[in-house]
Amino acid sequence: MLRGPWRQLWLFFLLLLPGAPEPRGASRPWEGTDEPGSAWAWPGFQRLQEQLRAAGALSKRYWTLFSCQVWPDDCDEDEEAATGPLGWRLPLLGQRYLDLLTTWYCSFKDCCPRGDCRISNNFTGLEWDLNVRLHGQHLVQQLVLRTVRGYLETPQPEKALALSFHGWSGTGKNFVARMLVENLYRDGLMSDCVRMFIATFHFPHPKYVDLYKEQLMSQIRETQQLCHQTLFIFDEAEKLHPGLLEVLGPHLERRAPEGHRAESPWTIFLFLSNLRGDIINEVVLKLLKAGWSREEITMEHLEPHLQAEIVETIDNGFGHSRLVKENLIDYFIPFLPLEYRHVRLCARDAFLSQELLYKEETLDEIAQMMVYVPKEEQLFSSQGCKSISQRINYFLS
């Protein structure tokens, strides 16, 4: 970050640049004077004029205001000046430029005191991703959008939102988690408001569980102090140590009213596991064989099985944790096993995402490379859409 006089210099040059950056969609002061055919309305000239005028407003005070807006921590010494009894106002255009500049600056630097300006909550993008990029998961499409959107649009939620994704590998659990991250935060996984934990990677040794507990607690606390909307993802949740699940309990409970200020008001926990993926597959297989179409399968068919079966998983920490037993998980979201036609679509997407041409036969060939189960019906891809993008390389040589 630029410090001291350098900052001022930098800002000054920025304002003088003919093509001074502006945030997308911002109104332009010179708009409307830009008539074609008029020699005096040369847009570059108009712009330069306006910018010179705006630059004229650049004073120590102007600078102070900008710097207070962008780096609020550094501005105490001048605060009195800004709020003092004499008070002062910027010329209208100056104020406008200040706002434009601040918005523009904040579009690539994290400059808000609580990281708020990097939260995008793009539900249009999320809906599009879920409907277009995810295949064969109509329940996930409806549930994820509805629950996440409903929660984030609640003004003062009483508790964190906890979603548990269940399904076989390759059915899209990680994919959907990533869609959430990318549409809710402009920086995606790089955001300071998002933390992802992979059980076997971040907490590999049971003997260090006490250390892990402390680390986890402090990471959650720090993230929540930084952001008013946080997202915590636990991959391989079925492998989390019971001790770690225990420390998560209080974060998922309903908050006492006075607890509002301590924690960030919007917190989402995602638990990803293949726990009871086999139950989902059994139910789906049974329904398909009974003549139902895949899209007719509803949550009512699946959720009761899912929750009951998870609690009954004797050997598993997740099923036995308070999270499940005390209903701290808000929704169990089933990822259905993928069929041949879905694998084909994944293959098509893999070609498209690399901007490569493909033939219909190639998509079939790729889909045929997967193993389908159960032995008899050969309906579901045992690896879902996993490693499809690596497989297409084979066809490129």
Ligand X SMILES: *[C@@H]1O[C@H](CO)[C@@H](O)[C@H](O)[C@H]1NC(C)=O
Residues of each annotated binding site for ATP: 167-174
Identify the bridge partners of residue 268 per DSSP, sorted by sequence position: 161, 231
* Residue 346 Cα to chain centre, angstroms: 22
Residues numbered 203-232 forming contacts with ligand X, rule: CB under 6 A: none
Identify the bridge partners of residue 266 per DSSP, sorted by sequence position: 229
As a whole number of Å, the end-to-end CA separation of the chain is: 46
Per the document, the length of the chain is 397
Residue type, 377: E
Cβ distance to ligand X smaller for residue 102 or 313: 102
**CB 133 to ligand X: min, Å:** 10
Cβ distance to ligand X smaller for residue 124 or 390: 124
CA proximity to 109, closest of 66, 76, 78: 66
Cβ distance to ligand X smaller for residue 23 or 242: 23
Member of 67, 102, 122, 169 binding ligand X (CB under 6 A): 122
**Contact (CB, 8 A) for 68 and 83:** no
DSSP category for residue 253: S
d(CA 99, CA 66): 8
Cβ distance to ligand X smaller for residue 122 or 169: 122
Sign, CA torsion 85/86/92/94? negative
**CB 24 to ligand X: min, Å:** 9
How many chain residues touch ligand X (CB under 6 A)?
Answer: 5
Whole-angstrom Cα Rg for the chain: 27
d(CA 262, CA 158): 13
**How many Cβ atoms sit within 10 Å of the Cβ of residue 314?**
7
Compose the 52-91 pattern: x for residues touching ligand X by CB under 6 A, - for all others.
----------------------------------------
**CB 178 to ligand X: min, Å:** 13
**CB 264 to ligand X: min, Å:** 22
Say which residues have a Cβ less than 8 Å from residue 132's Cβ, sequence separation at least 6.
Answer: none
Cβ distance to ligand X smaller for residue 120 or 215: 120
**CB 182 to ligand X: min, Å:** 8
**CB 131 to ligand X: min, Å:** 11
Cβ distance to ligand X smaller for residue 42 or 128: 128
* Residue 124 interacts with ligand X (CB under 6 A): yes or no: yes
* Residue 120 interacts with ligand X (CB under 6 A): yes or no: yes
Compose the 125-154 pattern: x for residues touching ligand X by CB under 6 A, - for all others.
x--x--------------------------
Query: From the annotation, which residues make up the binding site?
Result: 167-174
Residues that bind ligand X (CB under 6 A): 120, 122, 124-125, 128
